[in-house]
């Protein structure tokens, strides 16, 4: 620190000296120019006076009178002498003091070419001379010339004095400022650095998780980065400790670090590419500002942790109105914004493409086809064309990114890209391709409704691996292939061989990142009472529901379950409410638009039915139709007495898992539809048939009256399931199977 201080002092003093010298030089130059301007002005005025007086005398060649004039004016301050010359340049009169230097002076001035006033400055011995020479004219005829000689040495002396005084005065001021600056810097640098060093020492040796106490805003960015680094270190340390404990017990738990090593071991340096319709981060305008939003999506919740752990590229449709200006020319941006770990590449679709590919074929066709939710699928030829063309566009965009990669690994997500595996495989046979179908797969008879079922199946079978949430959906898929395409089904290995290519079909129940990353300073979430106050509610208990507004989520059935509960158990009227957070979804589609209006009307009907005069603030159903971030939903998860997931048909439903993961207090209850994939894992939830309002009502009562000991036991069991079957385990198993299946596929292809 002493050496740094010495260097800093030396640098400040040197900088101060240079600045002072430069400032002094500029000031002296300005003063020098000012003094010479004054001297020029004095000489010009005196010259004009003498010209007026001497003109008649020069006409008469009157040397005597010229001599009198020269002697009269030659005794002025700093004036050394005056010389009057005739037209030929011969001296007619001059000051006696110039007698010895007259020839030298005339040689310097050279009046023979003098047609206008001329100013000369030169040294003569120890003196600095200022010479002003001007012609004397009358009616355009030159009668002679006039020379005034001033002693300008005073300028040199004055500038020297100014140098001495100004330089040392400025140097003193600069040195004083440097000392003050040094003191301020030491006060604002040394103390914070010492504090941060001490904090990092405690972090290293004592497992301290306290944030660095930095007293100035100067170090806020550094403190923030240090705190983020500390959180990562603490999380890694805790993960290592947990791993060590589990290793001692011959158990294992998947962590981001373990997944990263696993992927590196299985795939080596092969790059990872994810294709999904939904982007994990979208940029939207909020007035003049641009904000980053994480869309509410189970797919994003499940897939992003893989790229956060392993890096790679995520290709998705751009959906934010400020996405273009935040991406580069290729549509790429590094994410997450606060700590980039992977690349997001955005693809912009035209309105016609989005209408046909997304709203049309994907969500009016495939979505209701795969969900047994009593909504008729709609298939249009123009929608199918757009679906096929958009799949081709995604294929071309991805192939550009894969050009420099050998044996790339591609994870395709969901029903939006059924044709993409075949397109990529035909262009890049060396690619390892998996497609994960996040929604259910219906039986062969139901899927046979689709006019292009063979094209879809053929496209999906271009993948090396097809994943579903449950074995039941795998069975349905293989039966559909068996009924629709010429292929060989290996039921023992759950594989399909078609056109010399082998595709395995396996269940991979997707999950979430659990245990949640350690946060040494978790946010303080508002209590139930505070949430009620913010919502303008009153009561003692509440249930939370979090969904996209979709007819498959059973939201209306949930409302009717609450209605039946309050009818059967009127003692809870005025005490229990359902807070339903519904994110608007696919509002371009009439069925979704109508559904939002139906839900609002149903909530209003039930609220009116149980309206009480005693407590006007209470409502049985609070329907919040708005996009919410994970941070905004977390307080409701933490404070709710129970969570209701009543999907009519769902591939998995990660809301159920998010609620369980959030309950570190091991309290609360989960009411879960038996028609979700999550019901096959979270068996300690209260499993219900969402169509049965009586069962829903009884489950709500049981959840509210469940003893704390039973709540804790059920929650511990469900949290243990999440711990053992988290998203890192899901990704690890999928990557491991994908790395194996290629060699086995080649072997089978060689020996059909």
Residues 98-138: tens digit of each pLDDT: 877 777 787 778 777 777 888 888 887 778 888 888 888 88
CATH number at residue 87: 3.30.450.20
Question: DSSP code of 283?
Answer: E
240 occurs within a structural domain: no
**Residues 452, 369 within the same domain:** yes
- CA dist 1 to 12, 181, 183, 201, Å? 16, 17, 14, 18
Contact of 660 with 718, CB cutoff 8 Å = yes
Q: Does 741 score more than 80 pLDDT?
A: no
Helix then strand then coil, in percent of the chain rounded to 5, is 55, 20, 30
144 occurs within a structural domain: yes
238 occurs within a structural domain: no
**Residues 497, 545 within the same domain:** no
742 occurs within a structural domain: no
Q: Chain-wide mean pLDDT for the chain?
A: 85
Lowest mean pLDDT among 156-170, 465-479, 691-705, 728-742: 156-170
Question: DSSP code of 218?
Answer: G
Mean pLDDT of 514-535: 81
pLDDT digits (tens, 9 = 90+) for 695-739: 999 999 999 999 999 999 999 999 999 999 998 899 889 989 988
Last residue in a domain, options 141, 157, 173: 157
731 occurs within a structural domain: no
Contact of 426 with 396, CB cutoff 8 Å = no
251 occurs within a structural domain: no
Mean pLDDT of 456-476: 97
**Residues 498, 540 within the same domain:** no
**Cis before 336? omega within 30:** yes
At what angle are helices 528-535 and 630-639 packed, to 10 degrees?
A: 120
Q: Does 244 score more than 70 pLDDT?
A: no
**Residues 490, 359 within the same domain:** yes
CATH number at residue 398: 3.40.50.2000
600 occurs within a structural domain: yes
pLDDT digits (tens, 9 = 90+) for 50-96: 888 888 888 888 888 888 888 888 777 788 888 888 887 788 888 88
pTM equals 0.69
**Residues 58, 143 within the same domain:** yes
Name the nearest CA neighbour of 148 among 115, 121, 127, 125.
121
207 falls in which pLDDT band (50, 70, 90)? Answer: low
**Residues 570, 646 within the same domain:** yes
User: pLDDT value at position 221?
Assistant: 61
**Residues 545, 397 within the same domain:** no
Query: Considering its fold, how many domains does the chain have in total?
Result: 3
**Residues 310, 377 within the same domain:** yes
Domain that residue 484 falls in: 263-507
Last residue in a domain, options 476, 507, 538: 507
Contact of 652 with 677, CB cutoff 8 Å = yes
249 falls in which pLDDT band (50, 70, 90)? Answer: very low
Q: Does 242 score more than 70 pLDDT?
A: no
Share of the chain above pLDDT 70, in %: 86
User: pLDDT value at position 323?
Assistant: 94
Q: Does 606 score more than 90 pLDDT?
A: yes
**Residues 502, 637 within the same domain:** no
User: pLDDT value at position 202?
Assistant: 67
Residues contacting residue 537 through CB under 8 Å, at least 6 positions apart: 577, 617, 618, 619, 622
252 occurs within a structural domain: no
Residues contacting residue 320 through CB under 8 Å, at least 6 positions apart: 279, 282, 283, 284, 293
What's the CA gap between 328 and 345, in Å, rounded? 9
**Cis before 485? omega within 30:** no
User: pLDDT value at position 238?
Assistant: 61
What's the CA gap between 656 and 308, in Å, rounded? 23
Lowest mean pLDDT among 5-14, 145-154, 326-335, 481-490: 5-14
Last residue in a domain, options 134, 157, 180: 157
**Residues 543, 477 within the same domain:** no
Residue whose pair of structure tokens reads 């009169």 in the numeric block: 93
**Residues 500, 452 within the same domain:** yes
- CA dist 179 to 16, 192, 551, Å? 11, 20, 73
The b-or-e profile of 551-582 (16+ CB within 10 A means b, else e) is: bbbbbbbbbbbbbbbbeebeebbbbbbbbbbb
**Residues 502, 632 within the same domain:** no
Mean pLDDT of 537-541: 91
103 C-beta neighbours (distance < 10 Å), count: 10
């Amino acid at each position: 620190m002493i050496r740094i201080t010495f260097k800093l002092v030396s640098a400040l003093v040197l900088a101060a000296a240079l600045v002072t010298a430069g400032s002094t030089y500029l000031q002296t130059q300005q003063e020098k120019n000012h003094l010479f301007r004054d001297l020029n002005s004095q000489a010009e005025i005196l010259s004009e006076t003498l010209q007026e007086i001497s003109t008649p005398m020069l006409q008469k060649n009157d040397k005597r009178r010229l001599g009198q004039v020269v002697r009269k004016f030659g005794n002025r301050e700093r004036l050394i002498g005056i010389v009057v010359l005739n037209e030929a340049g011969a001296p007619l009169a001059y000051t006696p003091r110039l007698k010895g230097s007259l020839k030298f002076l005339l040689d310097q001035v050279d009046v023979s070419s003098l047609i206008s006033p001329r100013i000369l400055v030169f040294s003569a011995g120890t003196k600095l001379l200022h010479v002003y020479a001007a012609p004397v004219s009358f009616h355009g005829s030159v009668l002679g010339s006039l020379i005034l000689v001033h002693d300008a040495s005073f300028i040199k002396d004055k500038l020297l004095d100014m140098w001495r005084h100004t330089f040392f005065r400025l140097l003193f001021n600069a040195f004083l400022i440097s000392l003050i600056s040094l003191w301020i810097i030491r006060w604002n640098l040394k103390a914070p650095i010492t504090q941060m060093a001490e904090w990092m020492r405690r972090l290293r040796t004592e497992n301290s998780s306290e944030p660095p106490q930095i007293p100035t805003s100067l170090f806020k960015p550094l403190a923030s980065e240090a705190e983020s680094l500390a959180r990562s270190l603490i999380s890694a340390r805790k993960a290592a400790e947990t791993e060590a404990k589990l290793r001692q017990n011959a158990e294992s738990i998947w962590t981001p670090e373990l997944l990263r090593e696993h992927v590196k071991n299985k795939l080596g340096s092969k790059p990872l590419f994810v294709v999904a319709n939904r982007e994990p981060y979208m940029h939207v305008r909020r007035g003049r500002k641009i904000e980053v939003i994480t869309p509410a999506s189970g797919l994003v919740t499940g897939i992003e942790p893989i790229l956060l752990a392993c890096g790679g590229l995520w290709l998705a449709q751009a959906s934010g109105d400020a996405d273009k200006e935040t991406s580069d020319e290729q549509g790429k941006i590094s994410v997450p914004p606060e700590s980039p770990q992977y690349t997001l590449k955005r693809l912009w679709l035209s309105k016609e493409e989005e209408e046909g590919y997304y709203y049309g074929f994907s969500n009016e066709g495939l979505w209701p086809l795969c969900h047994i939710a009593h909504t008729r699928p709609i298939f249009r030829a123009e929608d199918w064309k757009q679906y096929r063309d958009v799949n081709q566009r995604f294929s071309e965009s991805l192939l550009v990114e894969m050009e420099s990669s050998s044996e790339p690994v591609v994870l395709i997500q969901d029903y939006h890209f059924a044709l993409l595996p075949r397109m990529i495989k035909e262009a890049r046979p060396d690619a390892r391709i998996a497609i994960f179908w996040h929604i259910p797969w219906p039986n062969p008879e139901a899927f046979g409704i689709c006019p292009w079922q063979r094209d879809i199946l053929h496209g999906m079978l271009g993948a090396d691996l097809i994943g579903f949430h449950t074995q039941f959906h795998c069975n349905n898929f293989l039966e559909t292939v068996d009924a629709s395409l010429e292929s060989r089904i290996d039921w023992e290995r759950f594989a399909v061989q078609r056109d010399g290519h082998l595709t395995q079909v396996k269940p991979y129940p997707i999950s979430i990142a659990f245990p949640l990353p350690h946060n040494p300073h978790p946010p303080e979430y508002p209590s139930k009472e505070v949430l009620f106050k913010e919502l303008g509610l009153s009561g003692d208990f509440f249930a939370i529901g979090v969904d996209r507004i979709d007819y498959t989520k059973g939201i209306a059935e949930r409302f009717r379950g609450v209605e039946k509960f309050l009818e059967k158990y009127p003692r809870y009227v005025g005490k229990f409410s359902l807070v339903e957070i519904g994110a608007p979804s696919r509002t371009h589609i009439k069925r979704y638009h109508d559904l939002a209006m139906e839900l609002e009307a149903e909530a209003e009907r039930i609220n009116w039915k149980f309206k009480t005069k005693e407590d006007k603030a209470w409502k049985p159903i609070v329907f919040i139709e708005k996009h919410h971030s994970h941070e905004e939903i977390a307080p409701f998860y933490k404070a709710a007495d129970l969570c209701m997931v009543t999907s009519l048909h769902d591939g998995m439903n990660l809301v159920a898992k998010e609620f369980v993961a959030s309950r570190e207090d091991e309290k609360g209850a989960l009411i879960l539809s038996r028609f979700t994939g999550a019901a096959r894992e979270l068996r300690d939830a209260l499993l219900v048939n969402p169509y049965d309002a009586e069962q829903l009502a009884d489950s709500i009562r049981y959840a509210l009256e469940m003893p704390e000991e039973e709540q804790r036991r059920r929650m511990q069991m469900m949290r243990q399931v999440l711990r053992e079957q988290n998203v890192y385990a899901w990704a690890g198993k999928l990557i491991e199977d994908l790395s194996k299946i290629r060699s086995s596929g080649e072997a089978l292809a060689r020996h059909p």
